[in-house]
A = this chain, B = another copy of it.
Amino acid sequence: MSQVERPGRHAPTLEEVAEHAGVSRSTASRAINGGLRVSPEAQSAVDRAIVALGYSPNRAARSLVTRRTDSIALVVPEPDERVLSDPYFARTLQGLSAALTDTEIQLVLIIARRDDGTQRTARYLRNQHVDGAVVVSHHRDDSLEEVLAGSRLPCVFVGRPWQSPETIQYVDVDNVLGGRRATEYLVQVGCRRVGTIAGPLDMAAGVDRLAGWREALAAAGLPDHAVARGDFTSSGGAAAMEQLLREHPDVDGVFAASDLMAAGALEVLRAHGRAVPEDVRLIGFDDLGVAASTAPPLTTMSNPVVEMSRVAAEVLLDQVAGRATSHAPRIFGAEVVVRASA
């Protein structure tokens, strides 16, 4: 009855469970790990002992012998608040968490400072501390690819790896196509002088969405000179919009590579007396909540981050388990979500 642990007592051990169940350590161990080759009686005795004692296996001891840690890392290169407060990050967490919820696998968060932290992160990842890693918000120079390629650690990138997309498995949204579709939409609704607020060009999503914008304009025979670079933040988007208005005052449509940047741009447009969508049409990217809550709501591109990172986790778990997995990247589509801004 009393499965209340007396305070101060140590956590119950397998030994104690076995004793309580009247079996040997090994039988108890087997009963706990799948119950293969264990008699029903032994199994239930062990099960009862576990409940009675409030037992849960010591992960350290288990790791030591299995050489697995039952934990995976989410690696986020970038120190500052930017990434963490981006809705993208929250959704990634949500997806990973969803994939892990039915497992015993823990999620370790590694926020890698750019300067000093690289070495520590590298060692940590190289030396068996986690069974695998999901990398998000990867930048060209964060050296995560080298680190992970050098190790034998299973890993999956959320977002295309910069240098080795053929050897490192990843999930991503089709950013080029997304950028193209967004821009095509602007053209289709009548824009002829279409600018873009690009994302950071040391991130794949930044360059790809920009490339998509260029593709669409080339196909439409329109000029692609009105480019300003942002950093995926709202204030970065605002600054970029200022620049765009200064250098290309006649712009009548803008594709912002993220909703956060679009939101910043929206404010600047309003401040300059440009009505959206009447004077300037604006389309964002991501549709992770902010797009719906601006005024006017932003037309944007859907980005299935939760689903994507859920898949990333599953692919990673497959790798960890040694299950054969198609090495092809998992690419998700992005659709135009029409709202008032364009």
Contact = CB atoms under 8 A, between A and B. Distances in A.
Interface stretch (A82-90, A172-180, A224-232): A82-90
Interface in A258-317: 263-264, 267, 270, 288-289, 293, 295
Given A71-B108, A101-B113, A126 B54 contact: yes
A64 B64 CA distance: 8
A34 interface: no
Contact of A94 (B81, B107, B128): B81
Contacts of A109: 74, 93, 97, 106-109
A123 B59 CA distance: 12
Interface residues of A, number: 54
A219 interface: no
A153 B43 CA distance: 30
Contact of A97 (B5, B111, B126): B111
Contacts of A106: 108-110, 129
A234 B87 CA distance: 14
Contact of A128 (B11, B74, B111): B11
A221 interface: no
A121 to B, nearest CB: 11
Contact of A127 (B11, B111, B117): B11
Given A89-B90, A94-B84, A8 B152 contact: yes
Nearest to A122: B54
B85 A90 contact: yes
Contacts of A81: 90-91, 94
Contacts of A270: 295
A270 B74 CA distance: 41
Contacts of A124: 56
A338 interface: no
Nearest to A87: B85
B5 A150 contact: yes
A60 interface: yes
A150 to B, nearest CB: 7
Contact of A263 (B107, B267, B293): B293
B64 A126 contact: no
Contacts of A108: 71, 106-109
Contacts of A234: 293
Max chain B Cβ within 10 angstroms of own Cβ: one of A62, A89, A106, A263: A106
A234 B89 CA distance: 19
Nearest to A80: B94
16 contacts: A11-B128, A58-B127, A59-B69, A60-B64, A71-B108, A81-B90, A81-B94, A84-B90, A84-B91, A84-B94, A85-B90, A85-B91, A106-B110, A107-B109, A108-B108, A109-B109
